[in-house]
Structure 1
């Protein structure tokens, strides 16, 4: 590898990892601010449950479009558009005068982020063609670092007396990434990405691996999004509000060592074997967490679940891309869309169940999701 190629790869990797970290931060302030949204706008739990699905719709529409176009567009230009749009979106969310406006701005910001996320993993896939499993886990570890900080940023903003400051911080931390991308030249490493055509659709749809990956990621997205969205609210049944937000940080901080471990495992074992063992252990950890909820035991259980769940998405994505590496953009779009279907359906489902029954009973939906995931991976490992 030439020195210029190495330098180009270093800066692109740094920019992509940094945006992932900000994306994690942005996602995790959302759940931590639910109580503040409720107090500011006077909405019910069911309406709060719409925040994540609305963001999901904006994200998915853009991810699908740009994922399919990854082989024929100027990647650098559209990454810049994604960053600029995200900065503007954060500022408008923080200034929202009503819950309806807040939902509209969440939609717009998520769409801007979707432009970036549709293109970052295809670019990483071509930057690191021989170590996709490792680099995807490391990128999502960067996401986890930002996600872990998210609830703490909210706690600081609330201490200062204004939750809206959270979104000003998010806009501010994107500016260095914007500067780096502005100074970089368009990457020369996307030339191996085949321009996706309508005639290629049957080839992808005929692959059992992608069907298994998609179904598994719907459930994985559901498992993660329910915790991201509702864990602070659920934890408030057992702890003070300040401590409840910190419980989400306990869950998220487990993603950091978890994804580091999975980045090592991805190079030493078959991807589906890793996912199968992880899903089985997650089911056990969830059962213990919910049956013995409260106090230190709950915190330990939440950490264990976060550690295990952290490796599911990147490992499944790497497995899917390895099946058709020339179509990383479309496969990344399929993966993100599948996960976002889980984000769309299951947090809202928990909100409705919490209204009808209780948040404690609603959260046990997680056990069912992991059990179904386990079954899908068993079938996929045998027939895909």
Structure 2
């Protein structure tokens, strides 16, 4: 019998490391620039390399986890993160750094999907609540790295030492996964091609995938373009514009913490619907607000409202496909990452053509599409008796 609480702890620490990995390139930007004299193009290439690794990790983890179980894939992915952080801080070769950034993305993509699938399998009731708690740890990791790095640098700790310490953190969940008993593989007898085909033909999971397609794009568009929006629309300085990211990250993390409680008692899709309406209201404030403070309230509402989408939808996916949950999570997460890339590319064209002031209208259009998709998802889930209310 596996220990649910200790496995959840191991998954949470692993997710915290994924949060750190997601902001690592931005955080060590100065280190790379000063130590290797790289330009912005190289930093952009690193971001693309990380995204490619994360995409490959998202594609591959599901079938592997279903076939061989969670233990081996979590151990391997944590070793990837450990190796990447340790080597980046010690190497003087740019090609090695690129390889390690890819490894960081690969390990992170596996961890993001595998921990979510594991938690959905561990907690058969109220999956959304526990997935929301899991998401809190991602937020803690993403929020803490820039702050902790800044403090440690002021105390004369080098980037190399900081990266080494982060790598050593992987030993904690790695040890837990080594000694703990994980759920048994679901398809140890072979690859269930027939079930995979049925999943791909299921309109509900495709609707959920498209919902997360827009949600993922929305989240990255917000973190990418919000500072520029505040600079141009509210005419504030760079430091005040960057505060918007911190405000959104904090509101997102706090919201996920509260969701973990709310989703245990409130119907999940109603929480998600409320969140989308809060997000839309925040965009209205950003569009028609005339002051910096009103804009900040708006961006806080964006973070607060956006928190429910992934936990709720992944909870439904886990319920629909318990026998191949890993592969099902892989499918919708790949669709989400695809939306991330395509909507950001389209956003760049829109904002270049119509200026960044069009950001709020572009994002409102995305939310309206998500509301329409949510309506059809709810209908399908009720038809399948997954939703009772």
TM class by smaller structure: 0.7 to 0.9
Query: Which residue number corresponds to residue 107 of structure 2?
Result: 112
Matched, 1:57 2:48: no
Question: Hey, what's the Cα distance between the residues in 2 that align with 1:289 and 1:61?
Answer: 36
* Corresponding residue of 1:197: 192
> What do residues 293-333 of structure 1 show as CA deviations (whole Å, max 9, x unaligned)?
75322222221111110111111111122122222111111
Counterpart among 142, 150, 171 of residue 147 in structure 1:
142
The alpha carbon displacement at 1:132 in A equals 1.0
Do the aligned residues in 1 keep the contact of 2:65 with 2:185 (CA within 8 Å)? Answer: no
CA RMSD between the two structures: 3.4
Query: Aligned with 1:72: secondary structure?
Result: helix
The separation in 2 between residues aligned to 1:100 and 1:350, in whole angstroms, is 31
Match of 1:318 in 2: 315
Residue 171 in structure 1 maps to residue 141 in structure 2: no
- Report what 2:79 is aligned to: 84
Report Cα offsets for 1:227-285 as digits up to 9, x if no partner: 33444555565555454444322111112331133223333444333333322331221
CA distance in 1, matches of 2:184, 2:292: 50
Q: Note if contact 2:282-2:300 (Cα within 8 Å) is conserved in structure 1.
A: no
Which of 2, 11, 14 is matched with 1:16 structurally?
A: 11
Q: Is the 8 A contact 1:29 1:153 kept in 2?
A: no
Q: CA deviation at 1:287?
A: 2.4
Superimposed CA distance per residue, residues 1-43 of structure 1 (whole angstroms, 9 cap, x where no aligned partner): xxx74xx222211110011122123323545667887895332
Whether the 8 Å contact between 2:223 and 2:245 is mirrored in structure 1 is yes
Query: Per the alignment, do residues 100 and 291 of structure 1 end up closer, same or farther by CA in structure 2, a change over 3 Å counting?
Result: farther
Q: CA 1:103 to 1:370, structure 2 compared with 1: closer, same or farther past 3 Å? A: farther
Candidates 168, 174, 181, aligned match of 2:177: 181
Q: Cα–Cα, structure 1 residues 85 and 64, in superposed 2: closer, same or farther, change >3 Å?
A: same
On the 8 A contact 2:279/2:304 being kept in 1, the answer is no
Q: Are residues 1:128 and 2:145 paired?
A: no
Moved more, 260-269 or 370-379: 260-269
Work out which structure has the larger RCO, using CA pairs closer than 8 Å and 6 or more positions apart in sequence. Answer: 1
User: 1:67 corresponds to which residue?
Assistant: 62
Equivalent-residue separation in structure 2 for 1:244 and 1:375 (angstroms): 32
The answer to whether the Cα contact below 8 Å between 1:64 and 1:118 also exists between their aligned partners in 2 is no
TM-score by length of 2: 0.82
> Are residues 1:370 and 2:367 paired?
yes
1:28 is the counterpart of 2:23: yes
* Offset of residue 67 of structure 1: 0.3
The alignment of Structure 1 onto Structure 2 pairs a total of residues equal to: 375
**Unpaired stretches in structure 2, ≥5 consecutive residues:** 382-389
Q: Which residue of 1 aligns with 2:301?
A: 304
CA contact (8 A) 1:32 1:245 kept: no
TM-score by length of 1: 0.83
Indicate if the aligned counterparts of 1:157 and 1:164 stay in contact, CA closer than 8 A: no
